[in-house]
C-alpha cells in the first residue's frame, strides 16, 4: 500500500475530521500496516448474497428485514422509517452494507474468524456503524430504541477474550451518520488468528435498526517519524540548479524495533535499500525527486510482511526545476513631487517574485511582480518556484530615479478682492518654466477683477510640473436698486444682501439704509461693504414734501407748496380730494394752496397730490389740519 507524504497526509486528516465520526472505544495511536482483512460487503444494485451461516444466526431476507432478520444491500432504506443514505465505503458505486434489524432479545448477530495474523503483534480492528432509524418519520416514540453493540475479539479457541468494547446507546437521528468504532488487541506467541464477535446489547422493537460497513483489521505499531538535517520533519525541496546534496535522514522509533529503509521514485513502488537498517540514513548525491520511508517490525522475520510490519509516512526529497530570472519592464523615472511608481517585472508561470536591495542581500523587501520603493536606487527581483525556496540563479536589476520638480513654498495662497472695483495681479513666483493658468494665459502673472479659484501650472525642462492655487475671495459691494423719499426720510434699497453700510457725506456711515429728518435737495448716497472696498455713489434728489399744513394764518405751515421746485426745469402739481375730484393745480415754482376750494375753506382731511417733475411723477397725500 503506497504511503502518503506529510503534506498530503495533513490535508487528508483535515478532510477526515469533517467527514468521519469516531466512537469512544480505542484506535491505534501509531503506524498502521496494510489491511489484513477487509469486509465492505461488495457492490451491486441487487441485494445479497447472504452471509455464510457460520457468520450470523440472523435470517437473511431479500428486502425489508424485520426483527431478527438482515439483508445485504446498497439501499439502506429497507423499511419506510430507515434513512435513505449510502454505504460508508469511499468512492464505492452502489456499495452494499450489512443491514440488521435487531432481535427482540439481546444476542450475538455476527461471528467471523480472522486469520493470517502475526504472533506477538498489536492489531487494530475497526468498523463503521449507523443507526438506521430516521426520527423525522415519527414512527417510534422519541428517538426509538437505541442501537447498542458490543465488539469482542477472542482467541482462536474462543476461550480467551483479547479485547471488548461497547458503542453505548446510539439514538436515532434526522440525518444518516456513519460512526467508526475500533479496538486494539495483541496476539500472543503462536497466535495467528482471532474471532470477531458483534453482540446486540439492546432488545428489538421500534428502533434498534443498524447498518455495518468497512470492517478492517490492520497491524498497529508505534509512531515513527522521519526528519532530515535540512528541514526537520518537513519534506525537502531542492533546486536542480544547485549541486547534488547528501542529506541525513533520521527515524524516531520505539525501543526494540527492527528497521529497514526503503526508497521510491513515485511514492507507490518501494524497494529496500541494501544495508540501511539503522535509525539514520545518508542519501547519496541524488539529483531527482525521491521518497524515503522505513518498514518497522518487532521481529526481524516480520520485516517485509505487509501484514505484520508497519510503514512510516513517506518523506519526500523533491527536486524542482530552477526558474529563469524575471524580465524587467524597464527602469522608471519619477518627478520627486509625484506618487512613486512601482517597479515591475514579468515572472514565468508558477513562480513568485522576491525583491532585494542588492544582488547578494537575504532580506526580502517585498513579494510580487511589482514593488514600490520609498527611495531612489537599484533594486533586484529574483524568481522562485511558488511555495519553495528554489530561486533563479540570477537577480534582475531595476532602477528608480527621481527628477527635481518645481517647488512652491506656499502652494495655496488666500486673497481678497473687491469685485469689479479693483485689479489684482497674481504671480507664479518661479522663473525659467512654462506657465499655464486656469484662465488660459501663459504669462508669469495675470490680472484679475473678480474672486474665484485661479491656478497656474508650471513645468520645467525635465517635464516635471507643480501647481500653485490662488483662492481669491470676491468681496461683494452693494447694488442700489432704488432710493426714494418718504416725507423727510431717505430710504435706500439694494438688490443684494451683505454686510453693507451707508452715508450721505462719505465720512460717517451707518448700517441702516434709512436716513431721517433730511432736508430736501440733491444728495449723494454712499454705499459700501464693511470690508474696506470703495463705496458706490448714487445721486438722488430728495423731495422733502411736507406731510401736513395748517392754514390758520399764524405764519407757520399756512400753505401747501413744493420746496425747491426752482431746482427743476419744470414741475406741475395737482391736488385731489379722497374721491378724486381735482381741487387745485399749478406750476410747481409758484404753486401754493391754503386749503380753500371755490372760496370756501375745506374741512380737515387727507388730500392727494400728483407732482410731475421733469419726467418723474410723485404721488402722495398731505393732511389738512385746522
Which pLDDT tens digit goes with each residue over 193-239?
A: 999 999 999 888 899 999 999 999 998 888 889 998 878 888 888 88
- Identify the pLDDT of residue 244: 64
Single out the residue of 367, 360, 264, 271 nearest to residue 318, CA to CA: 264
Q: Which residues contact 116 (CB under 8 A, 6 or more apart)?
A: 36, 37, 192, 193, 307
Rg (CA), the chain: 55
- Identify the pLDDT of residue 156: 94
**Residue 91 — φ and ψ, nearest 5°?**
55, 30
- Identify the pLDDT of residue 20: 42
Distance CA 281, CA 253 (A): 14
- Identify the pLDDT of residue 243: 64
- pLDDT tens digits for range 107-161: 999 999 999 898 888 899 999 999 999 999 999 999 999 999 999 999 999 999 9
- Identify the pLDDT of residue 317: 87
Residue 387 pLDDT > 90: no
- Identify the pLDDT of residue 543: 78
Residue 19 pLDDT > 50: no
- Identify the pLDDT of residue 14: 31
Mean pLDDT for 387-404 is 93
Distance CA 249, CA 228 (A): 5
Distance CA 573, CA 461 (A): 79
Instruction: Give the Cβ contact number of residue 300 at 10 Å.
Output: 10
575 or 517, which is more confident?
A: 575
Distance CA 415, CA 564 (A): 48
* Cell numbers linked to 339: 506618487
Residue 301 pLDDT > 70: yes
- Identify the pLDDT of residue 24: 55
- Identify the pLDDT of residue 222: 81
Residue 2 pLDDT > 50: no
Per the DSSP assignment, residues forming a β-bridge with 2 are none
- pLDDT tens digits for range 74-113: 999 999 999 999 999 998 999 999 999 999 889 999 999 9
Distance CA 432, CA 460 (A): 7
pLDDT band at 388 (very low <50, low <70, confident <90, very high): confident
- pLDDT tens digits for range 614-623: 777 888 899 9
Cα–Cα distances (Å) from 124 to 34, 75, 187, 210, 345, in that order, read 11, 29, 11, 22, 56
Mean pLDDT for 182-202 is 93
* Cell numbers linked to 240: 536542480
- The per-residue pLDDT of the chain, averaged, comes to 90
Residue 183 pLDDT > 80: yes
Residue 576 pLDDT > 50: yes
- Identify the pLDDT of residue 308: 81
8 Å CB contact between 450 and 417: yes
Cα–Cα distances (Å) from 481 to 418, 477, 500, 536, in that order, read 19, 13, 14, 12
Mean pLDDT for 299-307 is 80
Q: Quick one: DSSP state of residue 232?
A: B
Helix (H, G, I), strand (E, B) or coil at 234: coil
447 or 31, which is more confident?
A: 447
Residue 7 pLDDT > 60: no
* Cell numbers linked to 577: 380730494
Residue 22 pLDDT > 80: no
Residue 1 pLDDT > 50: no
8 Å CB contact between 562 and 612: no
In DSSP notation, 377-445 reads: EEEEEEEEETTS--B-SS-EEEEEEEEPPP--SSSEEEEEEETTT--EEEE----SSEEEETTS--SSE
**Bond into 350 cis (ω within 30):** no
Residue 11 pLDDT > 50: no
- pLDDT tens digits for range 281-290: 999 877 788 9
pLDDT band at 329 (very low <50, low <70, confident <90, very high): very high
Distance CA 373, CA 248 (A): 41
Catalogue all structural domains in the chain, each as residue range(s) with its CATH number: 21-220 (2.60.120.260), 225-320 (2.60.40.10), 327-403 (2.60.40.10), 412-475 (2.60.40.10), 480-542 (no CATH), 548-624 (2.60.40)
8 Å CB contact between 428 and 411: no
Single out the residue of 408, 399, 410 nearest to residue 435, CA to CA: 408
Q: To 5 degrees, how large is the angle CA 150–CA 156–CA 162?
A: 45
- Identify the pLDDT of residue 298: 79
Q: Quick one: DSSP state of residue 308?
A: T
Find cell 389738512 and name the residue. 624
Single out the residue of 209, 50, 214, 248 nearest to residue 128, CA to CA: 214
- Identify the pLDDT of residue 12: 27
Quick one: CA torsion of 555, 556, 557, 563, rounded to 10 degrees?
A: 90
Q: Which of 9-23, 48-62, 266-280, 491-505 has the lowest mean pLDDT?
A: 9-23
Mean pLDDT for 5-22 is 33
Mean pLDDT for 479-497 is 90
- pLDDT tens digits for range 398-413: 999 999 999 999 999 9
Distance CA 415, CA 417 (A): 7
Q: 354-370: string of b/e by CB count within 10 Å (b at 16+)?
A: bbbeeeeeeeeebeebe
Amino acid at each position: 500500500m503506497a504511503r502518503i507524504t506529510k503534506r498530503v497526509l495533513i490535508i487528508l486528516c483535515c478532510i477526515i475530521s469533517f467527514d468521519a465520526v469516531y466512537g469512544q472505544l480505542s484506535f491505534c495511536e501509531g503506524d498502521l500496516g496494510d489491511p489484513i482483512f477487509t469486509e465492505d460487503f461488495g457492490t451491486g444494485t441487487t441485494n445479497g448474497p447472504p452471509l455464510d451461516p457460520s457468520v450470523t444466526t440472523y435470517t437473511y431476507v431479500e428486502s425489508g428485514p424485520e426483527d431478527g432478520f438482515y439483508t445485504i444491500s446498497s439501499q439502506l432504506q429497507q423499511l419506510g422509517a430507515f434513512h435513505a443514505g449510502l454505504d460508508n465505503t469511499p468512492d464505492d458505486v452502489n456499495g452494499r452494507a450489512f443491514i440488521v434489524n435487531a432481535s427482540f432479545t439481546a444476542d450475538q448477530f455476527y461471528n467471523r474468524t480472522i486469520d493470517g495474523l502475526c504472533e506477538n503483534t498489536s492489531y487494530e480492528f475497526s468498523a463503521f456503524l449507523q443507526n438506521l432509524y430516521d426520527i423525522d418519520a415519527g414512527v417510534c416514540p422519541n428517538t426509538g430504541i437505541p442501537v447498542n453493540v458490543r465488539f469482542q475479539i477472542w482467541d482462536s479457541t474462543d476461550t480467551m477474550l483479547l479485547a471488548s468494547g461497547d458503542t453505548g446507546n446510539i439514538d436515532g437521528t434526522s440525518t444518516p451518520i456513519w460512526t467508526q468504532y475500533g479496538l486494539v488487541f495483541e496476539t500472543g506467541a503462536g497466535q495467528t488468528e482471532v474471532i470477531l464477535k458483534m453482540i446486540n446489547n439492546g432488545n428489538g422493537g421500534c428502533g434498534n435498526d443498524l447498518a455495518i460497513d468497512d470492517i478492517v483489521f490492520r497491524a498497529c505499531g508505534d509512531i515513527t517519524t522521519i526528519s532530515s538535517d535540512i528541514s526537520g520533519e518537513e519534506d525537502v525541496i531542492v533546486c536542480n540548479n544547485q549541486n547534488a546534496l547528501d542529506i541525513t535522514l533520521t527515524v524516531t522509533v520505539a525501543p526494540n524495533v527492527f528497521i529497514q529503509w526503503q526508497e521510491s521514485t513515485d511514492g507507490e513502488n518501494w524497494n529496500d535499500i541494501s544495508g540501511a537498517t539503522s535509525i539514520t540514513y545518508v542519501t547519496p548525491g541524488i539529483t531527482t525527486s525521491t521518497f524515503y520511508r522505513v518498514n518497522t517490525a518487532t521481529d526481524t522475520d516480520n520485516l517485509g510482511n505487509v501484514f505484520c510490519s508497519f510503514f512510516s509516512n513517506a518523506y519526500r526529497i523533491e527536486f524542482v526545476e530552477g526558474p529563469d530570472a524575471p524580465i524587467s519592464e524597464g527602469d522608471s523615472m519619477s518627478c520627486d513631487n509625484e506618487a512613486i511608481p512601482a517597479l515591475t517585472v514579468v515572472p514565468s508561470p508558477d513562480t513568485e517574485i522576491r525583491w532585494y536591495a542588492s544582488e547578494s542581500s537575504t532580506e526580502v523587501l517585498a513579494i510580487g511582480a511589482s514593488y514600490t520603493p520609498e527611495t531612489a536606487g537599484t533594486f533586484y527581483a529574483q524568481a522562485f518556484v511558488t511555495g519553495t525556496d528554489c530561486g533563479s540563479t540570477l537577480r534582475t536589476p531595476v532602477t528608480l530615479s527621481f527628477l527635481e520638480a518645481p517647488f512652491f513654498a506656499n502652494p495655496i495662497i488666500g486673497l481678497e478682492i473687491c469685485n469689479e472695483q479693483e485689479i489684482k495681479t497674481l504671480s507664479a513666483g518661479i522663473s525659467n518654466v512654462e506657465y499655464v493658468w486656469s484662465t488660459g494665459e501663459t504669462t508669469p502673472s495675470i490680472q484679475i477683477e473678480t474672486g474665484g479659484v485661479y491656478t497656474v501650472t508650471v513645468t520645467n525642462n525635465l517635464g516635471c510640473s507643480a501647481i500653485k492655487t490662488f483662492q481669491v475671495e470676491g468681496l461683494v459691494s452693494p447694488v442700489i436698486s432704488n432710493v426714494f423719499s418718504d416725507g423727510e426720510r431717505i430710504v435706500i434699497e439694494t438688490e443684494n444682501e451683505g454686510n453693507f453700510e451707508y452715508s450721505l457725506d462719505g465720512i460717517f456711515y451707518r448700517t441702516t439704509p434709512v436716513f431721517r429728518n433730511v432736508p430736501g435737495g440733491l444728495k449723494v448716497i454712499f454705499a459700501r461693504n464693511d470690508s474696506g472696498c470703495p463705496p458706490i455713489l448714487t445721486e438722488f434728489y430728495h423731495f422733502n414734501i411736507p406731510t401736513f399744513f395748517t392754514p390758520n394764518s399764524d405764519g407757520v405751515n399756512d400753505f401747501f407748496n413744493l420746496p425747491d421746485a426752482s431746482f427743476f426745469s419744470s414741475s406741475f402739481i395737482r391736488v385731489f380730494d379722497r374721491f378724486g375730484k381735482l381741487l387745485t393745480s399749478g406750476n410747481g415754482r409758484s404753486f401754493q394752496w391754503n386749503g380753500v376750494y371755490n372760496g370756501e375753506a375745506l374741512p380737515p382731511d387727507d388730500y392727494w397730490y400728483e407732482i410731475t417733475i421733469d419726467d418723474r411723477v410723485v404721488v402722495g397725500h398731505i393732511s389738512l389740519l385746522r
